[in-house]
Structure 1
Amino acid sequence: MGKRRRGLYHCQELGDSDTLSSGRTGRAAGEILLPRATGIKMNKFLIILAAVSMLSAAPLSAQMMEQGFREEFNSLTNWKPLTFPKIPRHSTYRIQKDDSKSFLVAVADRSASGIIHAGSFNIYKTPIIQWRWKISNVYQAGDEKKKSGDDYPLRIYVVFKYDPEKAGAWEKAQYKTLKLFYGDYPPHSSLNYIWANKKYPDRILPNPYTAKAQMILLQKGPDRAGQWVDEQVNALEDYRKAFGADPPREATIAIMSDADNTGEKATGYVDYIEVSPQ
């Protein structure tokens, strides 16, 4: 199954819930609905970009956090779920508490969905991102270079907001058209930090669907599956290496666990995420 979808995509407010379950009917309170884009095919990355653009106008959306933030995953109050109506099986996200600690548990079972942080940060002031993650397994059919293998037990997105003041004439025309569908500008681009299924020698690869998403292969293969792994990246430096340019100033974080292409199953865990100055 390919990642291209069309139709109505939505981002539903979590409220005080510690669990996002798959499957629902009707329209939830606080749900953000993206306009129907008739005739336009979209992959998961573009859907995430569209949802992030809607978050900027949502009541839950916070002011840009100039000093960064730390998410301990005591609850999912600061996150909004992103689901794909054309994919009937949704991944689940819940908070698990073990003694005095709590962490995010993401389960993908032939499914796909994500969660998006409601706040944003200044990539130039707070370029350092740290987190601790763990996966149960990688996907046998997963392959970073193929559309059919574009599934990961965990991926951490850094999504960058489009800045019309820094865009060229052609880019401005493209985004003006997109704004007609979404009511606001979709974000500009994304870094996608992944736990890769294969052991490719590359650290940076373009997403099989779009050059606007560059993938950073932090962990590769099954060798460290089942172990907590600490990560620290400089997203500003990674962006410059991946795209060959400076990023837009404003960014936000999203998390996804998906297995709809491979038809496999995995569980991912995130202990915390911290965005901080250098």
Structure 2
Amino acid sequence: MKPTSLLGPILGLTLATSATAAPDTDTLGDFSRYDTLPQAPWQLVPFDGLPPTEYQRVTQGGVAAVKATSEASMALLARPLEVNLEQNPVLCWRWWVDEPVQQADMSKKSGDDYAARVYVTFDLPSSAMSLGTRMKLSVGRTLFGEQLPDAAINYVWDNTHAVGTAMPNAYTDRAQMLVLRSGMEDTGQWVEERRNLLEDLQRFFDTAPDRPLQLAIASDSDDTGSSASALFADIHLVAEGEQCQFPSPDNSENTESAGSGG
């Protein structure tokens, strides 16, 4: 079980984003910079009582990536965020999944597993939350620590729900799930994504954030006791109206592991 996995734990480290790849771009995950993972600002964030998902630095189809491998396990590969979403609100990334978690069901705690998920956590203005929400968060922070954030948006590769399906997480309504890919369609290849974080935050929580807190990627299969794996690459933020900056694959490199973490 992972009642707070979509909201934390939040990293205690605060770091600025890495050097930009191009004007108006905040580079968050250029994995060509690493031989092994995790390395700062990325950290492995395990969960008490659960074996951790493993993360390796690999090259897949000429793209430098991180590979997540889950065997009835869960752990985040996460980094803190210190970015200006008013300037660069659009999150871009590419991911690769060979197959979804067949036993998963995102509407149930027992099925809260995904081959791939990308999510961002936020602080929200107090004025944007009802008294009931503030009280629930106060109780949650008493139980799980002050680092519990106010909100999280999760972009997932699901197994059965239609693309565009949105619902609260089975454990908490402070984490909203949005299906970007589903089933076997688009598997076995790099798939590019872009999402406007400010628009999605307004959609799900009817507010703008005080600040983003953390970006995390994961494959998890602890609730279903199954297996999952995915690759993630080229995570960055761009301005609204700007194109995502995906480097051309380096086809001189074969798929290979360049190290491991966790």
Q: Scaled by the length of structure 2, what TM-score is found?
A: 0.77
Which residue does 1:250 correspond to in 2? Answer: 211
Q: Is the 8 A contact 1:138 1:153 kept in 2?
A: yes
**Distance change (3 Å), C-alpha of 1:123 and 1:226:** same
Quote the Cα distance in structure 1 between the aligned partners of 2:143 and 2:107. 30
Quote the Cα distance in structure 2 between the aligned partners of 1:209 and 1:265. 21
Q: Is the 8 A contact 2:163 2:182 kept in 1?
A: no
Q: Is the 8 A contact 1:129 1:275 kept in 2?
A: yes
Q: Cα offset for 1:202? A: 4.5
Which residue does 1:62 correspond to in 2? Answer: 15
Q: Does 1:276 align with 2:234?
A: no
**Distance change (3 Å), C-alpha of 1:183 and 1:152:** closer
SS at 1:143's partner residue?
coil
Q: Cα offset for 1:274? A: 0.6
Q: Does 1:222 align with 2:184?
A: yes
* More relative contact order, 1 or 2 (CA 8 Å, 6+ apart): 2
**Structure-to-structure mapping, 1:31-180, within 5 angstroms:** 42-46=3-7, 48=8, 51-52=9-10, 55=11, 58=12, 60-63=13-16, 68-73=26-31, 74-75=33-34, 76-87=39-50, 89-97=51-59, 101-164=63-126, 167=129, 169-180=131-142
Count of aligned positions: 229
Q: Is the 8 A contact 1:120 1:253 kept in 2?
A: no
Quote the Cα distance in structure 1 between the aligned partners of 2:75 and 2:188. 22
Q: Which runs of 5+ in 2 are unaligned?
A: 19-23, 241-262
**Distance change (3 Å), C-alpha of 1:249 and 1:112:** same
Q: What is the RMSD computed on CA atoms of the aligned residues?
A: 2.6
Q: Is the 8 A contact 1:147 1:209 kept in 2?
A: yes
Which residue does 2:246 correspond to in 1? Answer: none
Quote the Cα distance in structure 1 between the aligned partners of 2:94 and 2:25. 20
**Distance change (3 Å), C-alpha of 1:254 and 1:99:** closer
Q: Cα offset for 1:209? A: 1.4
**Distance change (3 Å), C-alpha of 1:181 and 1:211:** closer
Q: Is the 8 A contact 1:82 1:114 kept in 2?
A: yes
Q: Cα offset for 1:67? A: 6.4
Q: Is the 8 A contact 2:94 2:192 kept in 1?
A: yes
SS at 1:236's partner residue?
helix
Q: Cα offset for 1:144? A: 1.8
Q: Scaled by the length of structure 1, what TM-score is found?
A: 0.73
Q: Cα offset for 1:261? A: 1.4
Amino acid at match of 1:71: G
* 1:140-176 Cα distance to aligned partner (Å, 9 max, x none): 1111222211100110011102444655555445545
**Distance change (3 Å), C-alpha of 1:210 and 1:179:** closer
